[in-house]
Amino acid sequence: MFAHMLRHDSPTGASLAYHHLPAEGKARAILLVCHGLAEHARRYQRFAEAMAARGFHVYAHDHRGHGETRSADAPLGRFSRHDGVERVIDDVMAMRAVAAANHPGLPVILFGHSMGGLIGLNTAVSHPGSFDGVAVWNSNFNPGLAGRLAQVILRTERMLKGSDVPSAILPKLTFGAWGRSVADRRTDFDWLSRDPAEVDKYVADPLCGFDASVSLWLDVFALTFRATQQRYLDRLPRGLPIHLVGGGHDPATANGKAVEWLAKRLKRAGFSHITLQIYQSMRHETLNELGADAAIDEFANWCDRVAKRC
């Protein structure tokens, strides 16, 4: 069962909690899943079951400061006291090593939702040649001047009260603002999905919706601005398949415009295998939205094509 939790000791010092579902029938590839901010890997069970049924070995781990992963330098809400970006990337590569050792010779596809998409693309540019396909869903790599202002605010908070405490301002500018953007909202988290059952599960989950520390927010914005710099994109082969998904009513990505920006940025940089899908009626969590099964099926078809290329 995907709900059964396993552990792996990362070279970074973290005891990574992860979940694995083996492929049904002949295995086509390995799928590594990176979850989003203030959530955890168990929430991806339905996705994992669907992908395993299509022949993919699925691995999903809790990032530092999230879920059931444990590290002395990463309590809930913090990647690390120092070098958080590098350590969260190294943890992904540790999980890749586990999966590749268990299933040698198979293609490896990296999937990330929201913050997980930031981590995923940053991992790919940090370790070129390690992945045969990269999927970035519901991620904002283009926060613009508002993102730079957020960094100034966070650095001011760090100077005044330290980095290991929750930010007092960023939740209001992000989760709070996104919640208020839904006119007919029933809860403050209706921006995640139009499915009330999925929203209620998120609200009731003690490992979701927690306050991120100043340092974690700083690391998130560092990931946001890092991967799309030309010097990092130049590390990747231009034929790498990259799959982008957004929601037309997702306030976290400017209603999908940030995802469209990423597609244009990658095409301008010379990438030739970019797939873009904006689900116009969906909000932030495509995998927990009304219509999620169709989106997962389209993604599985893309993964099939990636596997056939290898």
Q: Give the tokens for residue 148.
A: 């730079």
At 31, list the tokens: 């799928």
Radius of gyration of the chain (CA): 18
Contacts of 36 (CB under 8 A, 6+ apart): 113, 114, 115, 116, 138, 285
Per-residue pLDDT of the chain (310 residues; tens, 9 = 90+): 666 899 999 999 999 999 999 999 999 999 999 999 999 999 999 999 999 999 999 999 999 999 999 999 999 999 999 999 999 999 999 999 999 999 999 999 999 999 999 999 999 999 999 999 999 999 999 999 999 999 999 999 999 999 999 999 999 999 999 999 999 999 999 999 999 999 999 999 999 999 999 999 999 999 999 999 999 999 999 999 999 999 999 999 999 999 999 999 999 999 999 999 999 999 999 999 999 999 999 999 999 999 999 8
Query: Looking at the domain assignment, is residue 172 inside a domain?
Result: yes
Residue 6 lies in a domain: no
Asked, for residue 126, whether it belongs to a domain, the answer is yes
Q: Report the number of distinct structural domains present in the chain.
A: 1
Give whole-number Cα distances, 52 to 32, 59, 116, 283, in Å: 12, 10, 20, 25
Residue 242 lies in a domain: no
pTM of the model: 0.97
Residue 64 lies in a domain: yes
| DSSP type of residue 213 | B
Task: Tell me whether residue 281 is in a domain.
Answer: yes
φ, ψ (nearest 5 deg) of residue 106: -90, 150
Are the beta carbons of 212 and 37 closer than 8 angstroms? yes
User: Residue 223 belongs to a domain with what CATH number?
Assistant: 3.40.50.1820
Task: Answer yes or no: is 14 within a domain.
Answer: no
Most distant pair of Cα atoms in the chain: their distance: 56
Which domain, by its residues, includes 224? 22-47+55-136+144-231+250-309
Q: Establish if 16 belongs to a structural domain.
A: no
